[in-house]
Structures are given as C-alpha cells and as structure tokens.
C-alpha cells in the first residue's frame, strides 16, 4: 500500500489515540458507528464521547467471530458513518481473510461510509491464516479507509506508545487539527 508521508500519515501516541482521533474526525452527533464485538473495549465509549451512536454487531463462534456481509448489510442505516474492522481481533483471535474482506468492501464501495481498519494485531496470525490489509483491496476502498496501526503489539513496545494512521489527506488533515 502506498501513501504520501507528508499528507496521508499521522503519528499518534499509540493506537488508542489514533482510534480516538479518527472517530472524532469522522463522527458528528447522531452518526452511527458499526462495531463488531467482542472487540477492543474503547470503541463504544469513544463513539459516544464524539456524540455518535454505537451499533454493536455481535459476531458468532459459528462464523469464527468474523463480521459477515449479511450482518453488515442488516446494520447499515442512512445514519451509518463508520464501520470499524478490528481484525485480527483481540480477544477472539478472529482473522478476516481476503475473501471475507472483499465481501465487506463490496458492500461499502458505493457508499460514503468510512472504514476504520484497526490493524494493530496484523503480525499475530497463526495456523496458516494470512493477513490482508483492508486498503490493499483497491483504490475504491482505500479512499474510504483509515488504517490504524502501531508498534505496541507486533514489536512488543507497549510502553513506547507509537501509533500511526494512514488515510486520505483530507481525513489526516482533520485528525491533525484535532490532535
């Protein structure tokens, strides 16, 4: 995936600040944020602090805790502003394979819905599973995607609090102003 360092990258104080900055930059009061659960505990309160409405989608063991296309379609309303994709997922270990993500991208490609792709666990894939970054699926989804990552999980640098965002320039600009 290629980004312009000066315009499309923002360094943050860990992944949590990146998530907070992304939600605050995108969500206005009343906007809905789709959050697959179980997942990181801060998505809901950060959404609420921004005035947004968390829309929790319970993933299921029989689907390996993946967000399905059908679940996403049924959760989208005219107020949906953001979908959070926290895969690989803590605490379930769920990994959305490329074909799973392509189905999700297919739903979102002709909408104005933004994707926050929390990829902090991207190096922690086991048992033959492989990681696919959401923005790598093509320009039509990349322009609607905020990639969040950092050094804490993959490089065992939790105390260093190094995170980053890769996103379209106009989103990074909004996030930088908020930061």
68 CB-near residues (< 8 Å, 6+ apart):
103
Spell out where the chain has E strands: 9-13, 32-37, 53-58, 80-85, 114-118, 145-150, 162-166
Please tell me the predicted confidence (pLDDT) of residue 93. 85
Q: Residue 128's pLDDT is what?
A: 78
Q: How far apart are CA 18 and CA 12, in angstroms?
A: 6
Which tens digit of pLDDT belongs to each residue from 112-145? Answer: 999 999 998 777 777 877 888 999 999 889 999 9
Instruction: Return the exposure string of 108-132: e unless at least 16 CB atoms fall within 10 Å of the residue's CB, then b.
Output: beeeebbbbbbbbbbeebeeeeebb
- pLDDT value for 6: 92
Tokens of residue 161, six digits: 């609090």
Query: Cα 137–143–147 angle (5° rounding)?
Result: 70
Give me the pLDDT at residue 131, please: 87
Using CA atoms, how far apart are residues 29 and 113, in angstroms rounded to an integer? 16
Q: How many CA atoms lie within 13 A of 96 on its CB side?
A: 26
Residues of the chain with pLDDT under 50: none
Query: Whole-model pTM?
Result: 0.94
What's the pLDDT score for residue 2? 92
Going by C-alpha positions, the residue among 146, 145, 143, 121 that lies closest to residue 131 is: 121
Query: What pLDDT was estimated at residue 161?
Result: 83
pLDDT at 89: 87
pLDDT tens-digit readout, 163-175: 999 999 999 999 9
Task: Please give the Cα distance from 147 to 145 (Å, whole number).
Answer: 6
CA-based torsion, 135, 137, 142, 145: positive or negative: negative
């Amino acid at each position: 995936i290629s980004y312009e360092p000066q315009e499309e990258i923002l360094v943050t104080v860990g992944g949590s600040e990146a998530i907070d900055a992304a939600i605050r930059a995108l969500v206005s009061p009343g906007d809905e944020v789709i959050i697959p659960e179980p997942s990181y505990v801060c998505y809901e309160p950060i959404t609420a602090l921004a005035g947004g409405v968390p829309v929790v989608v319970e993933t299921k063991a029989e689907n390996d805790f993946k967000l399905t296309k059908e679940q996403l379609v049924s959760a989208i309303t005219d107020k949906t502003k953001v979908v959070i994709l926290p895969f690989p997922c803590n605490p379930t270990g769920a990994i959305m394979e490329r074909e799973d993500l392509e189905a999700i991208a297919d739903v979102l490609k002709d909408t104005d819905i933004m994707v926050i792709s929390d990829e902090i666990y991207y190096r922690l894939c086991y048992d033959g599973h492989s990681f696919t970054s959401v923005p790598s699926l093509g320009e039509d989804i990349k322009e609607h995607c905020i990639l969040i990552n950092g050094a804490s999980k993959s490089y065992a640098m939790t105390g260093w609090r190094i995170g980053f965002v890769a996103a379209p320039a106009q989103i990074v600009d909004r996030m930088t102003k908020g930061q």
